Structure 1
Amino acid sequence: MTAAPTALPSPLDETRRALLARLVDGLDAPSLWWLSGYAAGLAQGHGAPQLAVLPGGAAPATAAQSGARLTVLYGTQTGNARREAEKLAQAAEAAGLAVRLVRADAYPARELAGERLLYIVISTQGEGDPPDDAAGFAEFLFGRRAPKLPELKYAVLGLGDSSYADFCGIARRIDARLAELGAQRVAEAALADLDIDTVAAPWREQVLARAGELLQRAPAPAVPPATVTPLRPAAARSRERPLPAELLAPQRIPGRAFRGTGFRRYAGPDKDVRHLELSLEGSGLAYAPGDALGIVHRNPAPLVEAVLQAARLDGNTPVTLGGETLPLHEWLAARRELTRLSRPFLAAHAERSGAQALRRLLDPTQPAGRAALLADHQLVDLLRRWPADWDPTAFVEALRPAAPRLYSIASSRKHVGEEAHLAVDVVRYHAHGHDHTGAASAFLAALEEGARVPVYLEPNERFRVPADGSVDMIMVGPGTGVAPFRGFLQERAETGASGRNWLFFGARHFETGFLYQAEWQDALRRGLLHRLDLAFSRDQPGRVHVQDRMREHGRELWSWLEGGAHLYVCGSVAMGRDVHAALLEIVAAHTGGDAEAAAEHLAALQAAGRYSRDVY
C-alpha cells in the first residue's frame, strides 16, 4: 500500500485518512500527479495556501493559471512521443516558462476549454489510429462534447512511420479538429518519420520561441532547489548510449527445458523463435514486467550485399555525410534502414527510375496500391523491380536512419535477477523470387553466447501487473506476444499474489509453436496459472484463433471482468483489432447492450487501467 505523506500534519480525520489511503493504493506516478492537481484545483475557492507545483505535475486547472502556462500533452505507444514531449517541457522550463507535462489519459478533458497554450506530441498506432493512452482524449476531441476553443493557441507534433499509408494520421486529424473548434495554430503541424529529430528539433525550436512570446516568464520556485523533482531524470542508458549487454544463453524454442522442467526437443521448419537471456549486471537498468528492451542492431551482411548489388553500387566507396566519412557498406550496415520502405524514398526512386507504374502508385488517389507496395516490398525488392541510377551519397541521404527494434521483456527481475529475457521471432520468408530476412531478428539469431548486444530500456507504464495481488488477470498473447506474460507470472509467483491468472495463447501449430509450453504446464500444476486456453490455427481443417477461444468462453470471461479482473493483450495490431472486436461482441452479449454501449464499456475499462494493450 502506498504510504500517505507525513511531512505535514494531516487535517483529515481517521476515516478520511483511511479512504485516502485506499484511493491512492496502486496508482502510478502520472495518476498521482493528476490527483494532486485535481485536489489543488478544488482548493482554489477555499482560501487554501499557495502550493508549489513541481515540474511535471498537473497544476491546478484555473483559467488564470491556464492562461499563463504551457501544457504539453502526449500520447505514446512505444515511448518516442513521451521522450519528445519531455524534451519540449524541459526546454520550456529551462527558458523560465511555466509548463505542465501530462500524458493524454491523465488529462482531465474538462480542462481543455480553459487552456490557452497547448502543444500536443502524439504517435500513430497502426493505420492512423491514436495510441492506446490517447484513445480517450481523441474520442472526446472528435465527439459532440468537445468545446469551442477560440482562445486556444496550439501546435501538434506527430510521430509516425511513412511505410504506413496513413502517415501520422491521428496527428493530422487532431490538428485539423482543433482548428475546426476555433483554436489558432502557432505553427503548422510537424510530421516526423523514423528519423524523428530532423523534424522534431526545428519544430521544438519554433514553438518554444512562440511560447516565449505568448507567456510570461515563470517566477523562481518558492521551494528549495533540492526539493524540485525533474520532469524525468536523464537515463544513464538510452538508444543513443546503449548498454553492451552480454548474451548469456541463446536458445531455440520450442526445444528447450526451462529451469529444470521436462520438455521434449522439437523444432520445425516453419518457425524459428529464439529465447535470449541478456546480462544487465551492474548497469542500473531496472525494468518492470511489461517493459520493452530496445535493440540497436546491425543489418545482416547478406542483406547489405543484396542491396548493394541491386543498387549497382560499390560498398567500399567512401561516403561523407554530416562531417563523417564511412564506407558505403558501413552506412548501410549500421546507419540506414534497409527493410522498411518510406514514401519519400519511393518518390525519389520513382524520379530516378522513370517508372510510370511506380509514379502512379504515388498518386494521392492510389492509397491502396501504395499501401500494398509499402507492406509487401523491402528496399531490395524495389531496387530489383524498378532499377535506377543512384550515386552513393544521394542513396545514403535518401534512406531513413536505422531505427532500433523493441522487444517485450519476457522475465521478472524478482525471478531472474540482473537479467532480461526476450522471445524473438526470426523473420524469414520467400517473396518476389528471393529469400528475405528481418533486420534485427536475423542480427540477434546470428549471435553466439558471450556476444555483446547494444540495448536500452523502454518503459511501458500502461502495461503493468496489478498492484493489488488479489486482482485476477486475463492475458491474451499469441506467438511471441506471450513474452510479457511470462514475466507477469514470474512476478506474481515471487510476490505471492493470490489473484487468478488466465492465459489465451495461440500459434499455427502445437508442435512447433507452443512457446514456453513446459513453463505453462508447470504453472498449471503449481496453481499459479488457473486457466490456459489454446488456439493452434493450422492443426485442424478450420482456422481457430485466440479471439475464437475468447468467444467460446465469453460467459466466464465476462464474469472475470465483472469481478474486477484486468485484461491484457499483446501482439500484432491486426490481432489486437480482432481481439477487440471479439470483446465488443462478448460485452454486448452479456450486458444486453448494443455495439456503442459495449464500446463505451471497454473504453471505461481502458480509462480505469483494466484493459491494457501492447500491440505493434
Structure 2
Amino acid sequence: MQFNVNNSPFNEEQREYLNRLIPTLTEAQKIWLCGFLSFPFIAGHEQSVQVDQTAAPKMEQSIQTREVTVLFGSETGNGQSLASTIVEKLQAKQLPVQSFSMDDFKPQNLKKVQDLLLITSTHGEGEPPENARSFYEFLHSKRAPKLENVRFSVLALGDESYEFFCQTGKDFDKRLEELGGERLYPRVDCDVDFEDPAEQWMSGVVAVLHETSNANASAISVSEKQAAATLLEEKQSVYSKKNPYPAEVLENISLNGRGSNKETRHLVLSLEDSGLTFEPGDSLAILPENDPELVDSLINELGWNPEESMQINEEGDIYSLRKALLSKFEITRLTKSFIQAAAELFHNEELKKLAAPGNEEKVKAYLDGRDLLDFVRDFRPVQLKPVDFIHILRKLPARQYSIASSLKANPDEVHLTISTVRFQAHGRNRKGVCSSQIAERIQPGDMLPIYVDQNPNFKLPSNPDTPIIMIGPGTGVAPFRAFLQEREAEGITGKSWLFFGDQHFSSDFLYQVEWQKWLKNGVLTKMDVAFSRDQAEKVYVQHRMLEKRKEFYQWLEDGAVVYVCGDEKHMARDVHQTILTILEKEGGLTSEQAAVYIDQMRKQKRYQRDVY
C-alpha cells in the first residue's frame, strides 16, 4: 500500500518518508509499531488520538525500561541470526533494544550499556571469531570500564568435539563478571546442534527482562500475541533443521581424474517448488545418515536387538534402535562430556579411572581418532539398557558445505563440491559421515534432507566495480565458482583474481574448463594455480601470492576485497601471514602497522573468510 493525498492525512514530506520506510519493516516491527501507536486507545479506551500534556508524562513513566544491547560475534552467520531472533522477541515485548556486530560497537560506549546480551562463537584453539577479536581484546585490557550497573547474559556457540569448547563465550562471561557486571541469566553453552538450547536461553532472558521492566502489560498483550503468532508462522513456513526440504539428487559425479589421491564429488540437487533461495557465499546443510555397516557392528558388539523401540527425545518420537543410530545420533566422534556420562552408566572400573579428575590429558589423547565402536570395545558396559545409552549420545549434527553455484545461473538447483573423507586410525578404516554417504550410497533420484544456512559475512561487494581476490585451495574453491557464475549472469566484468591449489594438475584441477572459459570471456581477470605434488618442492597458494606480491599489494591499495575459503588450521593461517608479509615488503609497513591495515580491511568487509 502506498500513501497519497487521497487516502492519508499526511503531508507530502511525511508521505514520501512513510512510503520509503514501510516496505523495509519486518512483520514483527510492523506489529510493534501498531501496538505502540495504539497505546492511547488501549490505555484510555476512548481517548482521542491527540494525547494531552497531562497524559503524555504519565504514559512515559509507565513504560520506562532499561535498554537492551545485543552484541554478536559471528563468522558463519549463526550468531548474527540468533541476535536477530532475540531482537524480534524483545521488540514483541516492547522492550527497547539495539543490536551490533562487536566490530561495529564502539567499546567506549560499554559503560553506557544497561542490559547486555552477548552471543558469540569460538574458533580455532579457543579464539574469538574475527569480528569479535578487537572487542575481546578491549574487554580483557586495562582500558575496560567497570560495569557495576550493567546486567548481562552470554550465549556461547561451539563444537563439543573440540578441546576449547565455547571458550570465547566462557571468557566473555568471566570477564564481564570480573568488571562488576551482574549476571541476569546463566550462560548457556551450545554444541553444533544449538537450536534448542539457544531457544531456552532466549526464552529465559526475555522472561527476566520482561519481568523486571515497567512496560504496561495490558497495553501490549494484543501485539505480543500477534507477534508471537507471526514469528511462529514464519519459522514453520521456512525449511530448517527441524523441517528440512527433501531435495532430489540430479547429479553426483567425481571431479578427480584417474590416479588422483582424492575423491571430490560434484553434487547437484533440485530445489524445484521448494521456495528456497540463497546467495553466493551461503552454505547448504545436509542431514546425513551414519554408515549402516558401522551401526550394525556397534549393535552386534553390544548384543542388542536392532528393532527394539524407544523414545528418543522429549517430543516423544519413537524409533527403533537401528534407525535412531542411523539417523539421529553421533557415533563417529567422542567428547569429554560423553566419557563422563558413560562412566556413570557403564559400571566399568577402567572407564571410571579414565574419567577421574586430573586425567584430562589422557581423555584428550583417547578421544583422538576413536569412535563409539572403539569405545564399547575398550570399555564394555555392564547391564546397560539401550534407551539409557541413546540418551547420553550427542545428536547427529548437520554437515554444512559452501554452495558452489548461483541461483541466477542455475534456477531451481544448488551445487556442492564435497571432498570424500577417508583415513585410518587405531587399526581401522574411517569415513566421513556425510561425504562417504554421498560418495558410496547416494545416486541420482535419491532424496537428501537439506536447508540453507545464510552467511552474511561472506558476500560479493555491492559495487560491481570493486576488484575481488579469491583464495581457495581444493574444495575451498566452491564459493568462488558461485561468485563467478553470479557475476556472469549479471554481466559484471570488474577485476577478479583467483588463487587455486590442489595436488596434481592432471587429476585435481577442479572445474578447469569453467575457469578457462571465464578467463577467455573476461568474467575472471587473472588466475594463479599451485599444484603441490607436481614438483619435488611443494608449492601452495601462499607461494603464488608472494610471487605476485607487487601486483597483489596494488590490488589491495585499489580497494580489492579478499576472500579466503578452506582449512582454518593450516591454509587460512598461512594465507593470513602471507598477506601481512606482502603488506610489510611492498607497503613498507611494520608488523604492527600491517596488522592494523588488515584489521581495517576486515572491519570494512574487505577481508572475508569462510574457514573450517
**Residue of structure 1 in register with 2:611 after alignment:** 615
**2:539 matches 1:544:** yes
User: What TM-score does the superposition give when structure 1 sets the normalisation length?
Assistant: 0.81
Task: Look up the equivalent residue of 1:332 and give its one-letter code.
Answer: L
Task: State the Cα distance separating 1:594 from its structure 2 match.
Answer: 2.7
Structure of greater Rg:
2
Structure 1 residues 388 and 215: CA distance shift in structure 2, 3 A: same
Measure the CA separation in 1 of the matches of 2:140 and 2:447.
47
Secondary structure of the corresponding residue to residue 436 of structure 1: strand
Q: How has the CA–CA distance of structure 1 residues 67 and 217 changed in structure 2, closer, same or farther, with 3 Å as cutoff?
A: closer
Return the alpha-carbon distance in structure 1 between the equivalents of residues 250 and 319 of structure 2: 32
Q: 1:583 to 1:435 in 2, by over 3 A?
A: same
Q: Where do 1:457-468 residues align within 5 Å?
A: 457-468=452-463
Contact 2:75 2:457 in 1 (8 A): no
Structure 1 equivalent of residue 49 of structure 2: none
Q: What letter is aligned with 2:424?
A: H
- Matched ranges for 1:243-262 at <5 A: 243-254=245-256
Name the CA distance, whole Å, in 2 between partners of 1:484 and 1:599. 26
Do structure 1's residue 559 and structure 2's residue 569 form an aligned pair? no
What is the match of residue 117 of structure 2?
119
Q: Is 1:282 the equivalent of 2:273?
A: yes
Aligned match for 1:314, one of 305, 313, 326 = 305
Partner of 2:483: 488
* 1:231–1:129 distance in 2 versus 1, CA, 3 Å: farther
Matched ranges for 1:163-202 at <5 A: 163-197=161-195, 199-202=197-200
The verdict on how the C-alpha distance between 1:114 and 1:572 changes in structure 2, with shifts beyond 3 A counting, is same
1:606 aligns with 2:602: yes
**Structure 1 residue corresponding to 2:240, chosen from 238, 241, 246:** 238
Equivalent pair of 1:97/1:216 in contact (CA under 8 Å): no
What letter matches 2:381 in structure 1? A
**Counterpart of 1:52?**
none
2: distance between equivalents of 1:136 and 1:231? 33
Q: Establish whether residue 92 from structure 1 lines up as the match of residue 87 from structure 2.
A: no
Between the aligned partners of 1:562 and 1:267, the Cα distance in structure 2 is 42
Provide the rounded CA distance (Å) in 1 between the counterparts of 2:156 and 2:77: 13
1:263-314: per-residue Cα shift (whole Å, max 9, x none)? xxx2335211111111112222111100111111222212322332444433
Look up the SS of the partner of 1:244 in the other structure. Answer: strand
Once structures 1 and 2 are overlaid, which stretch shifts more, 502-511 or 451-460? 502-511
**Corresponding residue for residue 327 of structure 1:** 320
Residue 147 of structure 2: aligned partner: 149
1:340 is matched with: 333
Contact 2:504 2:531 (C-alpha < 8 Å) held by counterparts? yes
Provide the identity percentage. 37
- Deviates most, 547-556 or 137-146: 137-146
Q: Is the 8 A contact 1:163 1:375 kept in 2?
A: no
Cα deviation 1:348-387 (Å, max 9, x = unaligned): 33453746588557755745x5445444223333333444
Displacement after TM superposition at 1:182 (Å): 2.0
1:413 and 2:417 correspond:
no
Which residue, out of 408, 412, 422, partners 1:428?
422
Distance 1:462 1:430, change over 3 A: same
Q: Do structure 1's residue 296 and structure 2's residue 291 form an aligned pair?
A: no
**Inter-partner Cα distance in structure 2 for 1:362 and 1:164:** 20
| Aligned counterpart for 1:105 among listed residues 103, 106, 111 | 103
Task: Confirm or deny: 8 A CA contact 1:524 1:530 kept in the other structure.
Answer: yes
5+ residue gaps, structure 1, are: 1-6, 12-27, 34-64, 255-265
Partner of 1:19: none
Q: Kindly state the Cα deviation for residue 501 of structure 1 after the two structures are TM-superposed.
A: 1.1
Q: Which amino acid aligns with 2:398?
A: P
Is 2:126 the partner of 1:128?
yes
Inter-CA distance 567–197: structure 2 relative to 1 (3 Å threshold): closer
Alignment of 1:592 onto 2:588 = yes
Say yes or no: does 1:526 pair with 2:536. Answer: no
Asked if structure 2 preserves the Cα contact closer than 8 Å seen for 1:277 and 1:419, the reply is yes
Number of the residue aligned with 1:206: 204
The whole-number CA distance in structure 1 between the counterparts of 2:513 and 2:260 is: 21
- Mean Cα displacement is larger for which, 153-162 or 533-542? 533-542
Q: Deviations along 1:418-467, whole A, 9 cap, x unmatched?
A: 21110011112222222111111122222111111111111111111111
Separation in 2 of the partners of 1:66 and 1:346? 49
CA distance in structure 2 between the partners assigned to 1:166 and 1:285 by the alignment = 35
C-alpha separation in 2, matches of 1:599 and 1:67: 41
Task: Give the corresponding residue for 1:447.
Answer: 442
How far residue 72 of structure 1 moved from its aligned partner, in angstroms, is 2.3
Deviation at 1:122, TM superposition (A): 1.4
Q: Would the aligned equivalents of 1:249 and 1:276 in 2 still touch at CA under 8 Å?
A: yes
Corresponding position of 2:530: 535
After superposing on structure 2, the runs of 4+ consecutive aligned residues of structure 1 that deviate more than 6 Å are 7-11, 218-221, 228-232
Please say if residues 164 and 374 of structure 1, whose CA atoms lie closer than 8 Å, have aligned partners that are also in contact. no
Task: Name the aligned partner's letter for residue 296 of structure 1.
Answer: L
Q: Kindly provide the CA deviation profile for residues 89-112 of structure 1, in whole angstroms up to 9, marking residues without a partner as x.
A: 333333342233433334343432
Counterpart in 2 of 1:392?
386
2:435 and 2:170 mapped to 1: Cα distance? Answer: 32
SS of the aligned residue for 2:319 comes to strand
Counting only pairs closer than 5 Å after superposition, residues 366-385 of structure 1 correspond to structure 2 as: 366-367=360-361, 370-385=363-378
Distance of aligned partners of 1:122 and 1:560 in 2 relative to their CA distance in 1, 3 Å threshold: same
The code of the aligned residue for 1:336 comes to F
Contact 2:65 2:215 in 1 (8 A): no
Aligned letter for 2:112? G
Distance 1:594 1:535 in 2: 29
* Partner SS for 2:536: coil
Equivalences for 1:27-38 in 2 at 5 Å?
none
- Which amino acid is the alignment partner of residue 589 of structure 1? K
Instruction: Tell me the distance in 1 between the aligned counterparts of 2:376 and 2:197.
Output: 27
User: Contact 1:339–1:378 at 8 Å: present in 2 too?
Assistant: yes
Cα distance per residue 1:567-597 (max 9 Å; x no partner): 0001121122222122222222233333222
Q: Secondary structure at the match of 1:602?
A: helix
For the residues of structure 2 that align with 1:469 and 1:561, how far apart are their CA atoms? 16
RMSD (CA atoms): 3.2
Residue in 2 aligned with 1:50? none
Q: Contact (CA 8 Å) 2:553, 2:587: kept in 1 or not?
A: no
TM-score w.r.t. structure 2 length?
0.82
